Structure 1
């Protein structure tokens, strides 16, 4: 793995050379879930359109996007930084 940092139940890293933002998300969720990306039960496209996500952040747009995926809250910044943390469930 690259320079992904695990904080208090969160994983943060930036896109690596040649990596799409959707691949970065899959890589970090798999680190948090302690699984290989191919072992994640829920495809990313069930939460968000990966092609649209990749396109949005290729165009050097400003801002950030937050969404839920695989029991995690994923935040993506226009800089290529990605944060993945367990979702807080309210019961």
Structure 2
């Protein structure tokens, strides 16, 4: 599974997304460009899962497809960037 990263949930899902993207792209999670909030409303994303929603979310960020499944597992496909 070269170019693929999977991150199990443990914090706010938006933090998990940032950490997973940083892992795949070798970016510093504190200085990622563009900031994740320019691609998705991170407050709404966190709120969705904090409120117990059973949902999958998929969006594009900097040439990557980010997927969060209903168990809050974050997957980055590794293409682009």
Assess same fold via TM > 0.5: yes
Spell out, residue by residue over 1:39-87, the C-alpha distance to the aligned partner (whole angstroms, 9 max, x if none). Answer: 3111111111000000001112122010001221000112111101134
1:20 aligns with 2:15: no
Residues 68 and 87 of structure 1 are in contact (CA less than 8 Å); yes or no, is this contact kept in structure 2?
Answer: no
Measure, in 1, the Cα distance between the counterparts of 2:51 and 2:79. Answer: 28
Higher RCO (CA-CA < 8 Å; seq separation 6+): 2
* Corresponding position of 1:51: 43
Runs (4+) off by over 2 Å: none
Larger Rg: 1
* Corresponding position of 2:3: 9
Gaps of 5+ in 1: 1-6
Give the TM-score of the pair, scaled to structure 1. Answer: 0.80
